[in-house]
Structure 1
């Protein structure tokens, strides 16, 4: 019996394998048959597919975006302390403050240390400035004294030259000539006396000694005359020229010395004045740094410039990297960082970001309906007041493919209950038509670049080109090509959907012509 079961087992396994193969073949055949018949039915018979009958009635074209309520006029409190600093005290958000109330106190310990060092540098700079100022007076006085002495030397040298030429030399010349005249007269007398002495000696009236005395006197007179003549020649040929050259050279040397003294005095004064200006500039710079540090220390205590409600900047917007860490004591903040908003009571606005696909629909002055999450059931009216010319930089940085434009909406009428930072939703009313033909946006596709819908034609649907206007991301305004009550296919055939265009907030069959006809 056991052997019979072992013989039957392989045959039973083969049957199971054949049955499995047969089942797979049947399933594949059925699937192919269903695909072929189903594809033909999709192209030829669309009974059972979703359709929409063209309707006519009121149609509102609007652009809806979420945003934030902001004060139309608010004071922005920023950190004006250079570098990074820490918050020591922070007023509680939502507090109503009066002008002059303390809002924020920052850590000033580093600035106080810097102030001590800077005051020391300023005192040293002031001492150097005073020393340079007094030194300038000393240099000026010394320069004046040396200049006056050099001028006096030059004056004396010129006077000595004139004195010698016009006084000393003529006097010496006259004296030499006078001596010659006297010596000649003495020589004449001595010679006459010698002649008489010789006559008297021959006649034995005088002695030999007396004759020799007269001869010696005549010789002495001759020598004195020769000496006087030699002195005159020396005076005229050598002494005068040498003295004249010496005095002229002295005059030139004193004149050049005077020029040197004047130039040196000028240079010394200019250099000392430059040093004084440098010391003065350095002192003023150090003094300015002290003043700046005093201002920086004063800015560590931030007071309310006017009455208002305290709103933290971090509560209304995230920073550039999307970090929404709330403002708190002990937090380190950077220079120029926005800290607190003090919105002025009264008028408010809504800030939204409009996607680039809706940008050309929106115009300044368009009416807007605003709803606020915190105030359900209330609808506020407003108008578009400003559209940014360039995309929002933060959004571009976070997502380069996302281009949105900051748009301001002024809220008109009663704005009671609205506070800065509240979330809102703004619906910009682009156009309103009391009677318009419209179909869902997903019913419109593009074939060869032309807006097209599939309209019921008996049991089937056929393509028909239409003219469309604006859409509100749900319904598109049909300007021509359809009639009221005609059934259009909501899901165009697969081969035609390659040309479909999708909008920002959902399917969008046809991109309306920019600023298209309404």
Structure 2
């Protein structure tokens, strides 16, 4: 603990001195004080070392299929070897049980409504048939009444009136004849005057009866007949329209009853499906093993740090729908999953060979190859740190080892190129000057152009412009900018090489190290005083514009130099 505090204080002091030197330093350091490195010729391996997590290649992923968030009430211990059908997880089902009971009641009500709708449809059809039959009968009667009047009642009435006129005429003729006789008899004093008057009255009555009969015939032919015709024809028309109305209304009632039946049927089916869904959800509250295997919690395979900020799976935890709960590996074939930084993206291709070492299995390494690189950055890492973009990379491990378990931490060395005999120097010795890639030879302030190839973040391949044995400065003047391969350009004196990363696999021969000039230590602090005011201001801005990741890398490198 004390050592970490001391290191932190030293780093803060060095940064403060650096900023102070940027602002106020104006002394020039002699070239002879610069550390140098003798360019080496020999084998060089271009590789990238990245931390990752072991995961099973072929596994069954068990997820929660319950809607919403649910609480785990029973959970099988991690590491348990299970058989097919064993209970793995049981989720809280109390809320679903209540919903199922309520839904069963709803289904019964919906079924009763459906039966009522069916009966209502039959009643509506029967009523429609009855109404239409009655309206049709009324129409038939109206037509028959019209026909009866035209062909029966009216001719009979006409004949009756004509008969009455004929009788009235005959009665009148008799009355006139009798009156004439009475007048003769009265003149001869055979009858009295009262008898004569009686015959006169009788004759007058018969005359009036004839006029009435003739008037009745005229009224029948000119008024009553026309009115009856209009009435009977109107009755026929009204009966026809009533029949049409009843047919339309009955059809509308039937259509409405059928629509209501369809609606009740659909509602009943929907409620039944909802009930079936609750029953299915209740069944899914208990998750059983689909096959034999070793129980591994999904939270254990997420890794740790910025990529795996997940709570461990325990009883009482809440899980969401489709959330991964348990992994059941099918065999011992494994993958290594790692987060490849965008700076190394162009150096890694699918199919490259790899060497995998697992922290939990010391002394053993595994071979493999890069299987896939995600086309887009990991969204979780971008959400946690928008300035950090990493790409999920899958490495297939060749060996099947039962000791490799999901969730183990590992280191993956991705081998890009291997050269048998090339010239190389530390990457911080190569800088950019006026658009050219150059190095600074020992004892010279003049840039020396070189052509570079790939680098492994420690050594860079020199294709031309430098021979083995030539000595180059490790801290070029600040008028230049460092060559950082696929990384961003940062000040030369700040971008120091990690001495502990110069492994035998990355250097030309075992035991070769970066030599120091004239006994100078290779861990000496960077010289920040050989700057013009403009260069100091520019460097200060570059430090301020560094991403959090770059500042963290700078801090780690300075910490390693000071340890």
Report the TM-score when normalising by structure 1: 0.82
Choose from 259, 265, 285 the match for 2:244: 259
Q: CA deviation at 1:103?
A: 0.8
Aligned position for 1:402: 388
- 1:436 pairs with 2:425: no
TM-superposed deviation, 1:115 = 1.5
TM-aligned CA deviation for residue 39 of structure 1: 2.6
Q: 1:384 aligns with which of 356, 370, 379?
A: 370
**Does residue 463 of the first structure (1) align with residue 452 of the second (2)?**
no
| Structure 1 position 477, deviation (Å) | 0.8
* Aligned mates of 1:163, 1:346 — CA distance in 2: 104
Secondary structure in structure 1 of the residue aligned to 2:362: strand
Q: 1:354 deviation in Å?
A: 0.8
Quote the residue 1:473 is aligned against.
Answer: 457
Partner of 1:162: 147
1:490 paired with 2:474, answer yes
Cα deviation for residue 490 of structure 1 reads 1.4
Q: Residue in 2 aligned with 1:226?
A: 211
Of the three residues 30, 54, 60, the one matched with 2:39 is 54
CA distance in 2, matches of 1:353, 1:504: 16
Alpha-carbon spacing, 1:502–1:382, altered in 2? closer, same or farther (3 Å): closer
Contact 2:332 2:404 in 1 (8 A): no
Shift in alpha-carbon separation, 1:477–1:502, aligned structure 2, 3 A: closer
Instruction: Encode CA deviations 1:271-306: one digit per residue, 9 max, x unaligned.
Output: 333333333333223222211111111110011122
The separation in 2 between residues aligned to 1:335 and 1:321, in whole angstroms, is 21
Alignment correspondent of 2:58: 73
Question: Which consecutive residues of structure 2, in runs of 5 or more, have no partner in the other structure?
Answer: 1-24, 489-493, 498-563
Q: Report how far residue 172 of structure 1 moved.
A: 1.4
1:419 shift after superposition: 2.0
Structure 2 distance, partners of 1:212, 1:140, is 77
Which piece of structure 1 moves more, 391-400 or 140-149?
140-149
SS in 2 for 1:396: helix
**Per-residue Cα deviation, 1:295-329 (whole angstroms, up to 9, x for no partner):** 11111001112222211011011699953321111
Residues 51, 490 of structure 1: 8 Å contact kept: yes
For 1:166 and 1:470, the matched residues in 2 are separated by 121
Matches of 1:195 and 1:347, distance apart in 2 = 149
Q: Match of 1:165, SS?
A: helix
Cα 1:409/1:318, change in 2 over 3 Å: closer
Q: Scaled by the length of structure 2, what TM-score is found?
A: 0.76
Q: Which residue of 2 aligns with 1:125?
A: 110
Aligned to 1:425: 411
- Aligned residues of 1:157 and 1:250 also touching (Cα < 8 A): yes
Structure with bigger strand share is 1
Residue 375 of structure 1 aligns to a residue in which SS? coil
Q: Tell me the equivalent position of 2:258.
A: 273
1:512 corresponds in structure 2 to none
Partners in 1 of 2:227 and 2:307 — Cα distance?
97
CA distance in 2, matches of 1:439, 1:227: 149
Offset of residue 74 of structure 1: 1.8
Q: Please name the residue that 1:20 is paired with.
A: none
Instruction: Please give the per-residue CA displacement for 1:405-428, whole angstroms capped at 9, x wherever unaligned.
Output: 011112224444322222221112
Deviation for aligned residue 1:449: 2.8
* Structure 2 CA distance for aligned equivalents of residues 416 and 287 of structure 1: 48
Q: 1:39 maps to which residue?
A: 28
Gaps of 5+ in 1: 1-34, 510-518
3-state secondary structure, aligned to 1:452: strand
CA contact (8 A) 2:54 2:410 kept: yes
Per-residue CA deviation, residues 348-386 of structure 1 (Å, 9 max, x unaligned), is 221111110111111122222222222223222222221
Matches within 5 A, 1:227-246: 227-246=212-231
Which structure has the greater CA radius of gyration? 1
Structure 1 residue 70 displacement after superposition: 1.4
| RMSD between superposed Cα atoms in Å | 2.9
Residue 205 of structure 1 deviates from its aligned partner by 8.6
Structure 1 SS opposite 2:327:
strand
What is the alpha-carbon distance in structure 2 between the residues aligned to residue 470 and residue 249 of structure 1?
108
Write the mapping of 1:135-150 to structure 2, written as runs, cut at 5 A.
135-150=120-135
The number of residues matched between the two structures is 467
Deviations 1:168-217 (A, max 9, x none): 21221122223323333443455445556666777889898887776565
Change (3 A) 1:318 1:120: farther
SS of the counterpart of 1:382?
Answer: strand
Residue correspondence of structure 1 range 258-407 to structure 2 within 5 A: 258-317=243-302, 322-407=308-393
